Amino acid sequence: MIARTLALLSLLILSACQPADDGLALQADYLQRLSNAVEGDAAVVFDKAQLTRYRLPPRRERVVAIPEIRIGLLDLLLDVRRCPALQQQISLRNSSLGKQLVPSSRLGYEGDLLRAIEACLPRLSSEKEQKLRRMLTGVAVEKRTQLPSVFWNALNASQEVERYLRFADQALPTAPGEDDAALAALAQLAAMANALPQSLPPPTAELDPLFFALHASPQGGQLISSLASLTHTLDEGSRLLEERQLQRPVCPQGQATPRGRILQNIFVKYYAGGLQPYLAQVHQRGQPWSSSLRQLSAAAEVPAATRNYLLNLAGPGQSLWVDFQAATSRHVHAWQDSLQSCGLAPGQSGWDGQAANADQ
């Protein structure tokens, strides 16, 4: 009996430590109040099972095979003794540590190697060194051609990027902290993808902070969950308003009624005063996020599974981001139509921007 009681207390403590999903709670409360105000059917609350539409494709479909270059760099180690920086890069790649480079570190390594080769070539000016020069030039051309594939493997095999682009169990909180570092890192990776292979990737020391910023932020996955849940909430709210107007207008004579005043209060207190600020937060983060994802989807040699996933999130066609924007616009118009039909919309004579004290 004591053991059972202790187990129950432990569960209660653990549940109390879990952060509340106030983003979803805000949406559920808004829908409930709006449903009561229009006296419509019960609102359908967002089902998290809908988030499975935004599940990342399996890693095996996103990672590409990169063939080994035909020339073994180890064979060149002694020949390039006049280029110590290149010798160092070749030695690193053939060390036990170099053979276990994670994909993101390999991206930085390939950039360092190509820079070392390019710095070495002008030093190989004697006639005896022309064969070596041609060999290194061939290696450089082949390595540069592979850079887009190396880049995509760095992203697609990275737990940091996967975490940032995978939907979360919770939506964004109603008062989220800043996410500038992660959004800036995503933008830099998108710009890098589109600059390859003409421009080389930065060294690993500059790449690591980008991946770390994505890993440190929970807001990428939370943003996906917020966009999906808000799209549902807004469309469901629009349905409630539209059906009431179509079937039984709140103000059939075009003049304010008690029910119309209740609806106006819901608009002022719970939409403009509650949901709309949250929408603004999500939209503010969604703009740079979606822009970077679209840039990534257009980069060279993006694997088909990755491209389709990015477009599903933020593509210019039907996507999570586009659906959210459409749902936002629809909901604004649904409110305008409902309040204007009562003469209670902003700018009309019956407008009252102060919410009533009583809860609805």
Where in the chain are the domains? 20-57+218-340, 64-156+180-216
Burial label for 288, CB within 10 Å (0-12, 13-18, 19+), is middle
Task: Determine the 3-state secondary structure of 318 from DSSP.
Answer: coil
Output the DSSP codes for 209-261.
HHHHHHHH-SHHHHHHHHHHHHHHHHHHHHHHHHHHHHHS-SSTTSS--HHHH
Three-point CA angle 302, 54, 301, nearest 5°: 0
> Residues in the chain with pLDDT < 50?
1-18, 358
The separation between the first and the last C-alpha atoms of the chain, rounded to the nearest angstrom, is 45
* DSSP assigned state of 201: P
Q: What pLDDT, on a 0 to 100 scale, did the predictor assign at position 84?
A: 86
pLDDT in tens, 206-253: 999 999 999 999 999 999 999 999 999 999 999 999 999 999 999 999
Is there a contact between 341 and 245 (Cβ–Cβ < 8 Å)? yes
Q: Is 108 left (phi over 0), alpha (psi -120 to 50) or beta?
A: alpha
Q: What pLDDT, on a 0 to 100 scale, did the predictor assign at position 89?
A: 86
Maximum pairwise Cα distance, the chain: 97
Write out the two tokens for 194.
């589109």
Write out the two tokens for 219.
């807001």
Q: What pLDDT, on a 0 to 100 scale, did the predictor assign at position 77?
A: 60
Cα-based distances in Å from 140 to 98, 99, 129: 19, 20, 16
pLDDT in tens, 111-137: 999 999 999 999 888 888 888 888 889
- Residue 32: count other Cβ atoms within 10 Å of its Cβ: 14
Q: What pLDDT, on a 0 to 100 scale, did the predictor assign at position 148?
A: 97
Q: What pLDDT, on a 0 to 100 scale, did the predictor assign at position 234?
A: 98
Backbone CA torsion sign across 305, 309, 314, 315: positive
Question: Smallest Cα–Cα separation from 30: which of 15, 45, 41?
Answer: 45
Q: What pLDDT, on a 0 to 100 scale, did the predictor assign at position 8?
A: 37
The CA distance from 202 to 205, in Å, is 8
- Residue 63: count other Cβ atoms within 10 Å of its Cβ: 18
* Ranges of H-type helices in the chain: 2-17, 22-38, 59-62, 84-93, 103-120, 130-156, 159-164, 180-195, 204-216, 219-247, 258-266, 276-297, 304-314, 320-340
Q: What pLDDT, on a 0 to 100 scale, did the predictor assign at position 14?
A: 36
Count Cα atoms within 13 angstroms, Cβ side, for 213. Answer: 17
Q: What pLDDT, on a 0 to 100 scale, did the predictor assign at position 7?
A: 37
